[in-house]
Amino acid sequence: STYHHILIHTASCMFVPHQEPYTISKGTQLEGFCMDLLSEVAKKLGFKYRVQLVKDGSYGRQDDNGNWNGMIGEVVRGEADLAIAPLTLTAAREKAVGMTKPFMQTGISILLRKDISEGSGFFDFLTPFTAETWVGILIAYLGTAASIFIVARISPCEWSQPQSEQNRFSLLHSLWYTAGALTLQGAGPHPKALSGRVICCSWWFFTVVLLACYFSNLSSSKSSESAQLMVKGFEDLANQDTIEYGCLAGSSTLAFFKNSNNPVYRRIYEHMERTKSFVSSMDEGVRRAKEGNFAFIGESVSLDLAVARHCELVRAHEVVGMRGYSIAAAFGSPLIKNLSVAILQLSEAGELAYLRSKWWASSCIADRTKSSPVQLHSLKGMFLVLSLGLGLGALLAVLELTSKSRRGAVEQRKSCCTVLTEELSLRLRTSNASRPQENVDKDKEKA
C-alpha cells in the first residue's frame, strides 16, 4: 500500500492512517478528521495519547495462516491498544478485535466525469420549467388573448361603430397578437383604447420576466452536465458496455461484489475480473475517472472527497453495501464501551456532522448552484401582476362603454342602463356586426 499510517499511544496506542482528510502532516504536527475525532473523545474520556506511524503501512488483512498484518495486527498482538482510522467494520475484524459503534457511515458508489451524460432529448427545451408552470403559462396566454378580444369589443374607443365597422381584434387575431408579444416579435394592429393598452403592457411585462427566467434556467441546465448521468446506478453500469469500470484491487469493495448473490453485482464483478480493470490505488482510480470513459467504484466518503477536490467529477446517487468506520481495540479493553458512548454523544450533538463538513468542504462553488426547473409558486408575483392588469383593463373598458352610454342616453332620452345593455348586447353578439355594412356594399355593387 502507498498509504502511510500513524500510531497513537497512551497507556494504549491508536493508529491513524496518513490519508487526506483523515490525517494530514503539517510540519511535525498532524491534523485531519481522525485527529479531531481523537481529540474530542480524549476530552470526554480524560486520557492522553501519543502518535506514531504504523509499521507496515496497511489497515489490516488476514493471511492464509490466520495472522493479521497492519493496524489490526498490532492491536491483536498488543503492540497498540486502539486504532483510529477509516477502518471498515467487518465480520472478520470483529472476530479478531473489538470495534466501537461506527463514527462514520459509508457505502459503495460510482465516480464519473460530469460530461459523461445522456444525449439531449427531443424535449429538453421544456426542462427549465415544471409541467405545472407550463400549464400556468398556457392558461395565462389564453386568458390574456380572451381579455384582449373581449375588451376590444366592449371599449368604444377601440370599436366605436359596431353596426358598420369591422372589429380588428377577432379571437384569432387576439391569439396571434398575444403569441407575437410572447416571442417579443409583435403583431399589429395594436390596441388604441387605454383599456387594451393596459392589458397589453401587463402581458409584455409578464413575457419579458418569463423569458428572462426561461433563458437563464435553460443556460444553467445546459452547463450542469451532471444533471442527467448516463450511469445513475449499478444496474445502468452493468447494462452498458461503453464506459469501462473498475475498483481498487484486493479491497473490501471488490469482496462485496465477489461475495454477493445479486445478479447485477455478480455481473459487475465478472466484468471486472474478465477485463482486469482494477486500479492499484485510490489516486489512480480518481485519475482515470478524470481522464474520462471510466467509472471508478469505491467507498462513497472517499468518492465525496474526490468530488470536493476535483470539480469535473460527480458521484452517482446510488449507494449500496452500507457499512461503518469504527475504532478498533483489543478484546476486553475497558475503553471500547466508553468510546462507543462518546461517539454516540458526539453524533447526537452534531459534532461528527460538523467535522465531516469541515474536512469534506468543496471548493467547487459553481457546481453547488445547480439549476432546477422553475416552480409555479416562484412565479406567483408575475401571475399576480398579469391578473391585476387584466382586471384593470376590463374595468377601464366597462367605464369607457358606460361613459359613451351616458352620452347616448341623453341624446336618445333613454335610461343609461338601457343604452348600456343595448350596447353590450350589440358588441358581444357572436354574429358578425359588420354584416349590414357588407350587405349595403354588395347592393351598391349590384346597382
Annotated binding site: 86, 88, 93, 252-253, 299
Q: For residue 5, what is its C-alpha cell?
A: 499510517
- CA 99 to CA 313: how far, in whole Å? 33
* Residues sharing a CB contact under 8 Å with residue 247, sequence separation 6 or more, in sequence order: 253, 254, 257, 272, 278, 279, 285, 296, 297, 298
How does 116-147 read in b/e, with b if 16+ C-beta sit within 10 Å?
bbeeeeeeeeebbbbeebeebbeebbebbbeb
- CA 26 to CA 250: how far, in whole Å? 30
Q: For residue 238, what is its C-alpha cell?
A: 452493468
Phi, psi of 302 (to 5 degrees): -70, -40
H/E element, 87: strand 82-88
Kindly state the DSSP code that residue 21 receives in the 8-state scheme.
T
Binding residues for L-glutamate: 86, 88, 93, 252-253, 299
The angle that helices 416-427 and 380-412 make with each other, rounded to 10 degrees, is 120
Kindly state the DSSP code that residue 185 receives in the 8-state scheme.
-
Nearest partner of 140 among 376, 313, 371, judged by Cα: 376
Bridging pattern class, strands 294-299 and 244-247: parallel
